[in-house]
Copies of this chain bind each other. A is one copy, B any other.
């Protein structure tokens, strides 16, 4: 039986989320039972405004698909809309729109909140006796979704973070004098991305020598003692920290560092900035901080080939699984045990993963909480392998621009 499909993107941007979109489109094109391939602009929020486009018309050739996969952020736009708890009129409206557009399969590429949306819609459609298959496709630079070995987008962010630190370590080692760099990395509750900074050491630098994750209470005195030790023997000390590290009393460092800005408004310090100030105040050595900010989730020019290929594959598999009857599931990677890195693409009931957060296991952090273990390194290494395909024109990235003309029914 012929059916149309609908795909959307939601949550924060990553470098791999358009690769998963390209994968869904490719997967749909391979299914004879799929008619139109619709995309919703700005997620569920845009869907409710019937801002729906035709993706079969947007992707005309292999070049379009490859360029889309190499374009960061969300080609369809995003939203931060969380579906209200059912019962709520929004559910009926959404079902009505699905019926108008003849949607039999729905794919939502996103993080925690987006998986909750898939779960709610899935439950509602089932309750209404509708055969609309709902599949969540994970993405997040935070790598904090449960059930899956890792999430698309994480490997590329990890590669950018570690590569940037390897470069900054070279940059800061040119003078013959001790200096400290504090690098602040994304991660409010889960320290995966800051942990990935350790990969910089595979490029032949000792940096980062200290890594602090939100999974452990931060002890400023212990850190300062370590800085004093490094100052005796080293020329360069790089400290990588998650933005979300907290003191033992639960207070965020960014809150402790709050000051008034030049206009009199209270402003949170960056966690890295606060540590920079602390080290300068207590030790007085040369120190600076660096916030990788949104660059770490947007740097398509430094994407991991492994990550982008996997993001494509998981998107394509999502359509195959839905066509085979799967619904109410999230797609996952399962790492095949053994020396060679291999992943199987599978799916799990979405109830097992929505609204749950996966943090770094306690035993993947060293006893004193200032580094990650060799198991963590073993876990991380394959995820950053290779440079992803990248398109340039006149020396600038040649990103794919989606035709956003809304479908007139």
A residues contacting B by CB (< 8 A) are 13, 42, 45-46, 71-74, 77-80, 159, 162-164, 166-168, 170-176, 199-200, 202-204, 256-263, 265, 267, 269, 274, 277-278, 280-281, 288, 290-291, 293-295, 297-302, 304, 306, 381, 383-387, 390, 392-399, 401
Contact = CB atoms under 8 A, between A and B. Distances in A.
7 contacts: A163-B397, A168-B298, A200-B396, A261-B269, A263-B281, A302-B302, A306-B395
Nearest to A42: B176
Given A265-B277, A299-B164, A398-B203, A174 B294 contact: no
Q: How many chain copies does the complex carry?
A: 2
User: Interface on chain A toward B: helix, strand, loop, or mixed SS?
Assistant: mixed
Given A174-B73, A175-B77, A278-B263, A395 B293 contact: no
A395 B399 contact: no
B394 A71 contact: no
B265 A258 contact: no
A164 B295 contact: yes
Contacts of A401: 204
B167 A300 contact: yes
A204 B397 CA distance: 9
B72 A171 contact: yes
A236 to B, nearest CB: 11
B394 A381 contact: yes
Contacts of A167: 72-73, 295, 298-301, 397
A395 B73 contact: no
Nearest to A174: B78
Nearest to A263: B281
A320 to B, nearest CB: 27
Nearest to A162: B396
Given A168-B295, A176-B46, A295-B290, A260 B262 contact: no
The listed residue with most B CB atoms (<10 A of its CB), out of A174, A175, A277, A278, is A174
Contacts of A288: 293
A200 B396 CA distance: 7
B263 A73 contact: no
A166 B73 contact: no
Contacts of A263: 277-278, 280-281
Given A170-B399, A203-B398, A80 B175 contact: yes
Contacts of A74: 174
Given A77-B174, A301-B163, A399-B203, A277 B262 contact: yes
Given A294-B172, A298-B168, A395 B304 contact: yes
A155 to B, nearest CB: 9
A274 B262 contact: yes
Contacts of A277: 261-263, 265, 267
A13 B167 CA distance: 11
B260 A259 contact: yes
Contacts of A256: 262
Contacts of A259: 259-262
B171 A79 contact: no
A293 B291 CA distance: 9
A173 B302 CA distance: 20
Nearest to A51: B176
A72 B13 contact: no
Nearest to A258: B262
Contact of A386 (B79, B175, B257, B395): B395
